Amino acid sequence: ISHYGKQQMLKQAEDIFAEYINSPTSSKVLYNSMINAYAKCGKQEKAYLLYKQATGEGRDLGAVGISIAVNSLTNGGMALEK
């Protein structure tokens, strides 16, 4: 997911995310990687919504997840909107 995000290949990142999202081994690394891929591809709203969804489901994304979400919102000019 991280590789595809860096390469601006969001569809491939989303496909991998979708394949593993319901896996019992899905973790904060999976979510943080997808949130970061959205952020790198300029999809701050999607990054924020995925962060909200994950935390709303009780997933602890840790300091890394919070940092990615905040940086995405700030860099995308959305911090004041939220």
**Distance, CA of 46 to CA of 11 (rounded, Å):** 13
* Residue 80 binned pLDDT confidence (cut-offs 50, 70, 90): very low
**Distance, CA of 47 to CA of 45 (rounded, Å):** 5
Q: What is the mean pLDDT of residues 14-29?
A: 90
User: The tokens 């994950």 sit on which residue?
Assistant: 54
Does residue 79 surpass a pLDDT of 70?
A: no
pLDDT the model gives residue 72: 85
pTM: 0.85
Q: For residue 63, what are its two tokens?
A: 């300091």
pLDDT the model gives residue 34: 96
In angstroms, the Cα distances linking 20 to 6, 26, 34, 64 are 19, 6, 11, 20
Angle between helices 44-56 and 28-40 (to 10 degrees): 160
Provide the 8-state DSSP code for 81. T
pLDDT the model gives residue 82: 47
